[in-house]
A and B are shown apart, each in its own frame.
Chain A
Amino acid sequence: MSGRVASALLAGVLSACSPGGASAEVLVSAAASLTDVFAEIEDAFETANPAVDVILNVAGSATLREQITAGAPADVFASADLRNITVLSEDGAIKSGITVFATNQLEIAVPPGNPAGVSGLADFERTDLLVGLCAPGVPCGDFARSALQLAGVTPAPDTNEPNVRALLTKIAAGELDAGIVYTTDVVAAANGVDGVMIPASHNVTAQYPVATLIDSPNPEGAAAFVAFVLSPSGRSILAEHGFGVP
């Protein structure tokens, strides 16, 4: 229900911002782990299309799905997993085909200098460390649990964070000794964390799908934005941020 309230508020704010009539806004709902890269894609897209104003709505993929289901205005949905976009597709909310535009892997994030000496997934069993994961149901939380299962590790997390950014903040502050995040989160220097690699045999590949929505207020803008994400310019920005581009 809070999703519905939030989307109602969002609708109010967005319509208040719109000058009405010849509105050229594209409302993009993007997963939290896309925060930095989509901000850069937004800049590049707006430079190429000066008449269009992209408005990013960044949150956990499941929260975004809830908002869209509840009728929040959105033109484009970029999810951090296939599950949330598939649910929308089954509800008939997706217009275009679903395209995977990027992939990501998992990495262990530790505070700068790795003070607790974390060396791998097995450390997530240790009760003498403070370790965190994303909550189950959040893509980074589900992926992390898959990786831990592949490694045969039963984790003892001290917190299940609502999204990957909240987890990163607590690791960067040194309050958690380790957490499982995306490779791209470790690459982004601004996050202030160090990385510990997860071996390929235990790692999980996250797929990022994008699609335009059936109730899109601006279908042309939506299609143009998705095309830009899939274009060579979009792909090179994604690659710079550490994403795999299929």
Chain B
Amino acid sequence: MDRPTVTKRGVSGPPLVIVLLAAVGLAVFVVPLFGLLVQTPWGGLARLLSSDVVLDAIRLSLVSSIAATVISAVVGVPLAWLLARVDFPGRALVRGLVLLPLVLPPVVGGAALLFALGRRGVVGEPLYEMTGLVLPFSTWGVILAATFVSMPFLVITVEGALNSLDRRYEGAAASLGAKRGAVLRRITLPLIRPSLVAGLVLAWARALGEFGATITFAGNLQGRTQTLPLAVFVALESDRDTAIALSLLMVVISLTVLVVLRSRWWRPS
């Protein structure tokens, strides 16, 4: 019964060149991971990963990456909708501004955040004088830095989905008397759900891995601003085994979430 399939594959299998190039592409991702696995101190892993520094960093990373994803969803989805559906003057510029953090080195983003929202920053100084709120060196600073670098992933994904959506469904709903809000809630958002979930996952993953903007804007203090990537960086200077154990932990967390989410909810088209 299987024979026809086997024969068919034998005849029209993927071209060797493509397979070889794809293998090289995969190696770019796999080789560094292999290096990490080779260096991992497997015996002491449990002890290394149960220290106060590590537990604080895990907690802070989860809190800040989830908070950044929630903020991105609340303000990023409306932004994506405006960019996709309203033809306002300067839309190309706004789109460019939103995507800027994707290409900007995160450390530049962190410095910009510091100069704008720091205690002596253009916006931060009046904020500090009115409320006493200091964003740098606080967990809010970590969340803000993570939001800055991760929200573009959500906006770009959702805007793309809105643009490629067949608008006749929305038109039909509207012609049957649905208000604009109802169309958005009952038709548009369900239709773009796979892209919305994909955008949220990408934004969360980016927030979890955020380093440069965080250390520049929020500093590095255990329990307050030291997320997993910062803990890895600091540990590399003094405690290599902990740094490698932490790196491995980040790989496991990220890979688990990405694989599980993809197989359950996030199916392109």
Contact = CB atoms under 8 A, between A and B. Distances in A.
A243 to B, nearest CB: 23
A1 B35 contact: yes
Q: Is the interface of B mostly helix, strand, loop or mixed?
A: helix
Interface in A87-132: 111, 130, 132
Interface string A49-79: 0000000000010110010000000000000
Interface string B103-142: 0000000010011001110000000000000101100000
Interface string B219-240: 1111011000000111011110
Contacts of B216: 166
A158 interface: yes
B137 A159 contact: yes
A128 to B, nearest CB: 11
Interface residues of B, number: 31
Interface string A130-147: 101001111000000000
B238 A62 contact: yes
A201 interface: no
B137 A158 contact: yes
B52 to A, nearest CB: 14
Interface string B80-121: 000000000000000000000000000000010011001110
A170 B32 contact: no
Interface in A145-176: 157-162, 166, 169-170, 173-176
Nearest to B124: A175
Interface residues of A, number: 29
B48 interface: no
Contact of A161 (B39, B220, B244): B220
A235 interface: no
Nearest to A135: B234
B36 interface: yes
A173 B134 contact: no
Contact of B120 (A62, A138, A162, A173): A173
A3 interface: yes
A60 B119 contact: no
A174 B119 contact: yes
Contacts of A111: 120
Contacts of A162: 215, 220, 233-234, 237
Interface string B44-82: 000000000000000000000000000000000000000
Contacts of A174: 118-120
A175 B220 CA distance: 14
A132 B216 CA distance: 13
A175 B119 contact: yes
A170 B238 contact: no
Nearest to A66: B236
Contacts of A1: 32, 35-36, 39, 243-244, 247
B237 A130 contact: no
Nearest to B32: A5
A58 to B, nearest CB: 15
Contact of B237 (A63, A169, A175): A63
A14 B224 CA distance: 38
Contacts of A60: 237
A175 B35 contact: no
Given A1-B39, A175-B114, A132 B234 contact: no
Interface string B138-160: 00000000000000000000000
Interface of A: 1-5, 60, 62-63, 66, 111, 130, 132, 135-138, 157-162, 166, 169-170, 173-176
5 contacts: A4-B35, A130-B136, A138-B237, A162-B237, A166-B216
Interface of B: 32, 35-36, 39, 111, 114-115, 118-120, 134, 136-137, 215-216, 219-222, 224-225, 232-234, 236-239, 243-244, 247
Q: Sorted from nearest, which 4 A-B pairs have the closest CB atoms?
A: A159-B219, A137-B238, A174-B120, A62-B237
Given A62-B236, A175-B136, 17 more contacts: A1-B35, A1-B36, A1-B244, A135-B220, A136-B238, A137-B239, A138-B237, A158-B137, A159-B137, A159-B225, A162-B237, A166-B216, A174-B119, A174-B120, A175-B114, A175-B120, A175-B137
